[in-house]
Structure 1
């Protein structure tokens, strides 16, 4: 008996997915609720579990196929028929292996006929080996007397003629070559179909460039005070809250305060109207195996630094496991992308439509700065705010970054909402 495996409900407004890869081969045993196939949607990759225990049967959909919700994609064999899928391929292979032995012997290919070579008004027939020597030594075959049957040239005739010919004029010097100008014989190319997630990322980023008037403004921030606070309290923080104290908690909290002061950065354009919000749903870019995903911290204005860190930590873990839900990546009013974890010094992040701004964080470098007339070394980070200039003026963008900078350089502001 076979049990059908269908595409599960993927979330609101998601009607189709792409087969990523089959995690089980036909004939392999599967357990109930064991993942058997990964599906890629516009937002995330998910794994579909087996509804029953049995043996992997026919896989109706292939990797790369687009399938609708509810579509039949595979069969799980249970009971006595479980061994059938494994036996069938083996029987086919055995039958295929016996066919050549029963068929008539295949005749050996005939040796290649000697290649004709034109020389003046005559056409001479040369064997492949003789032809190769003639071309190698640059000889005129009509000027060589053949000693073979019917006056044909032999290898010995060509070698003797080459030995007796006068020394050729030196060839012009070849242009110098380098390893870069001569393609290597080991160069390879691989053509891989874009995943559905990567296609969606590409489409949305290009859409942002085509529709929004994107501009980026920069500032830098002294991380001394935040780093000192983190070093002082990180052990107590982790002991009490069960999560590490990172920098994102400070930046999300500072961004929420700045968004309250500059509401246009948290707004969006819809048609000929501007939508302003009294809440902040912060999208946080998180690295996943198939690319960046952007889950949303809902009502970040209500969360403490500890609450923010717990939420981000949970997102990061589930992004790696592929268990983020669709609804967790929808919406969002403002995005923070931390390229610094990968070593980025500076970037111009692209807006995540329909949002109007995105904040880019970067790596922390010790740099010389002037404080009270003295040159000192400080841990500095570049901040980048890309924004839709149709909605946000340059003055507002700069004011937002300055407010964020002030809160990070003096974390006490985060406590007294200043």
Structure 2
């Protein structure tokens, strides 16, 4: 515990020392001077060995005892003060002079001491005092000069003002970095009138120069136009000469073409004459001969064809007669064979005829049921077959068809029988075979 207490006490002591050091130690910035006054704050001016009642510190730190000493700061920054002064020249002309003064507190101990005595608590008054100082010197110097002197040599005016105010600025602890006269004006237009002759001369010279330039430009344009016209004329002449040569060459070429075309036309006429001789006249004679020969050949062919057709007609007639005779014999044999078949197996022939016309018989029998709306069939397919058989056998239309068929067959059988007894039925020949 005692060690901890000692350590804490040491830390507290260090902190207290740091606080005390910060409270009593002051450091001057590069652009300021520390003015320390109070108990023991005395120093000697290094420039004049004058004993001062305060201490000046620049660019370093110093100790200030609180309660016994006071530390204040004096700015060494550059300051700007504008000048607007109404002056009267030696000619009695009132002019307004505007300028600017750039100044600061001097870096030496004497300047700092002088500035500290006058502006330490009133640093904002530096600009006003500086303006008054320079305004007085500026009025004094301008009163000995003319307006022409002011306009002609402003550097002279600036140097005179700086030189005349240097001693007083030094007593204030101030030094001038720059002084510029920016503008000079008058109320009566004197300065403007001074410039008018020169302005008129300059304007006249400008107009003369402009007129000369315009004249020279016009002459140059005329010469250029003449040269251009001559060039155009020469170009047109050359173009026409060249065009004449081209036209002459074209005419000669056309003449050659015409001559060649004429010769070609003559050759073409000769060729066509020969072609006409070879292609028209000779073929015409040949065609005439051919027509005569063909006519004779056609006549002979017609005679031969007529003879052949007559012979063919005769042969066709004989062939048709023979075909008719053979057809009659075949039909008679067929009738005889049918009669023999009917005599030997009448039932088979009737069944065959019925089978051939069975669809017609069934269709006629089905007509019986045409007006029936509802019908109940028993025993399935057997019931349908039984019903159809009854329809055919109970005097229906199908039965009439069957009866008609049987009558037809009986008539046919009688005819066949008659034919078989040696009575032949005449058969007409096909009209197309006549």
**Greater RCO (CA < 8 Å, at least 6 residues apart):** 1
- Structure with the largest fraction of helix: 2
Q: Give the TM-score normalised by structure 1.
A: 0.14
- Structure with the largest fraction of strand: 1
Q: Give the TM-score normalised by structure 2.
A: 0.14
Larger Rg, first or second structure (1 or 2): 2
